[in-house]
A = this chain, B = another copy of it.
């Protein structure tokens, strides 16, 4: 039975950027969904395990999720103001990580790369505080 999981997935898909589990939960409830917080967490985890959504950690340690368009390995360019996210590929980075790891005798190399910035529409609006 995956109806709940699909509901979570759908909610995520409607979002431009990364959303926290609590966000997703709040939004689903707002839209009248009868779902528990526990289930949202479980669904999110399952989706992440299955590679259907990407996860990353905010600076304050919260996990945030996003339904990405491609199943391929990619990275994110995230607006630090509005959260809008662009998926980007970076073959150069992949190679670099691999090389750097190998040079130091490391194997089974993985990497995390995220790019943050202020997107064009946000940089037009006055700065907060």
Q: Residues of A within 8 Å of B, CB-based: how many? A: 34
- Closest Cβ neighbor of A57 among chain B residues: B57
Q: Is A28 an interface residue, CB under 8 A from the partner?
A: no
0/1 interface trace, chain A 103-125, chain B, CB 8 Å (1 if under): 01111111111111111100100
A–B pairs, 17, beta carbons within 8 Å: A61-B61, A61-B62, A61-B63, A77-B104, A88-B104, A92-B96, A93-B113, A97-B113, A101-B115, A106-B118, A106-B120, A107-B120, A108-B117, A108-B123, A109-B116, A111-B115, A111-B116
**A residues lining the B interface (CB < 8 Å):** 57, 61-63, 77, 79-80, 86, 88, 90, 92-93, 96-97, 100-101, 104-120, 123
